[in-house]
Chain A
Amino acid sequence: MTDSEFISKWGNRLNTSIVDRDAYLIRECIGKKVLHFGCTDTPFTQEKLDNGTALHIKLEAVASEIVGVDIDEVALSALGKVCQKSDLHVCDIENPILLDKLSGRNFDVVVCADVIEHLNNPGAMFSNLGQIVQPGGKLIVTTINGLAIKLVLRALFASEAVHPDHVAYYSFATLKHLHERFGFCVENKAFTFLYPFNNRFLTTIQPPFYRLFPNVADGIIVTSIKL
């Protein structure tokens, strides 16, 4: 059975899907006017630029136009040296100044990849997005899955590993509530596996396990439409 056959059979049965985050985002951005929030990968920006895994570069390669926004000026400068056609801005996604910087711009797709878990005020982000995304426009939010089995197992062994800049976790239900509170209608959810284990056996069994139990995978992708 091929991967796509497996996902088709089990994914449909479970009414959800497991996808590769970057591949999913790239597919959604092909030929589109894209706004990418959190476009650097601080503190790993240079490392990802060097090894070719920086998400923004992948999106830039397929988008017709792309604007990148990030709060990290140094990382944004490093990214700017590599980008071909990106319009990059230093700005806080929670700050209303963002609206001035992007005024008059229209986007087909707005991507917030692994940003929300860093924010003190996710409501301000959604409020800004509510004005940036046009009715019918697409918003894609990705984040760590708060109910991921890896987090649960680490809690069991009291060895929770939390990024020093993360201040909250989100599950699909909580993300859906936030989207709806700010006028976005969720049209698709997907789960992703992001991080390999140090152990080769666990890394091998990870993909089939997550295909059977996608809701406890590493990450969540929520795609919504502005009403």
Chain B
Amino acid sequence: MTDNKQNDFLLASKCSADVSDFSTDIALNDHKLNFVIRYARDKSVLDIGCVQHNPANYQSKYWQHKALCSVSNDVVGIDLYSDGVVYLQSLGYNVLVANAQDFDLGRIFDVIVAGDIIEHLENFDGFFESCKRHLASNGRLLISTPNPWYWKNFIKAALNSEVSSNPEHTCWLCVRTLRQLAQRHGMDVGEVVFGSRYLSDRLMPMPNGWKHTSFHAELFFT
């Protein structure tokens, strides 16, 4: 990987952590954490993109890796952000530096969690093939990604703003495109859950495909 690309991948790692989310608690009722925890409980779990942009996020009640560690004793995290990984290692977490598009850890997991990762990638083939190498035959790949048709995205676009919640996003996926992508790699989409952290979004009398910021999908081998 060239330095330019490496820097681009890590752009979002310069994002500051949201101090208001810092807590010793885990937001188990959060839509994203609630979804992954249901599948990960007492299973061996690989968490892709475990640093979540900024290693200070380990203090956040929304930090996915902490939530996964709270329900499983066998959780491995990988991330491309080496400084972040080293920091988390110093805190005692079992995390490694690896590229989500090309990794080989030499073992199998029951559940692979790719929370808000796929929209950062340029090589879906590499991601799916790496995940398949590490996933048990009856395992589950859990993918979370922003909802392109979230109502605020549309309003921003209509008003001529650049709609990109993160400086390193490379694409958008909806449930149908995710399913078609999975099917190219011998997988299919099972459960799909839409969710938003904003109460105002959740209370809106609108369809899920409009009112929620993101969706989470369960993928399995066909």
Q: Which A residues fall within an 8 A CB radius of B?
A: 14-16, 120-124, 126, 146-147, 149, 151-152, 155-156, 158, 160, 162, 164-174, 177-178, 180-183, 213-216
Contacts and interface: CB of A to CB of B under 8 A. Distances in A.
Closest 8 CB pairs of A and B: A123-B122, A173-B164, A155-B209, A167-B181, A147-B157, A155-B149, A162-B176, A168-B171
B168 A177 contact: yes
A20 to B, nearest CB: 20
B168 A171 contact: no
Contacts of B122: 121-123, 126, 178, 181
Interface string B153-187: 11001101111100111111111110011001000
A192 to B, nearest CB: 15
A182 to B, nearest CB: 8
Contacts of B162: 172-173
B123 interface: yes
Interface of B: 4-5, 8, 119, 121-126, 148-149, 153-154, 157-158, 160-164, 167-177, 180-181, 184, 206-207, 209-210
Instruction: Name the residue in A15, A146, A165, A172 with the highest tally of chain B Cβ atoms < 10 Å from its Cβ.
Output: A146
Given A162-B176, A169-B171, A171-B157, A177 B8 contact: yes
Contact of A16 (B123, B160, B167): B160
A165 B210 CA distance: 24
A120 B124 CA distance: 5
A162 B174 contact: yes
A212 to B, nearest CB: 9
B126 A167 contact: no
21 contacts: A122-B122, A122-B123, A122-B171, A123-B123, A124-B123, A126-B122, A147-B153, A147-B163, A155-B174, A160-B174, A162-B174, A162-B176, A165-B180, A168-B171, A169-B172, A169-B173, A170-B171, A170-B172, A172-B162, A174-B164, A181-B5
B174 A121 contact: no
Contacts of B210: 152, 155-156
Contact of B154 (A121, A124, A147): A147
Contact of A174 (B5, B171, B184, B209): B171
A151 B171 contact: no
B181 A120 contact: yes
Contacts of A126: 122
Contacts of B119: 174
Given A151-B148, A162-B177, 7 more contacts: A147-B163, A152-B154, A156-B207, A162-B174, A168-B173, A178-B170, A215-B158
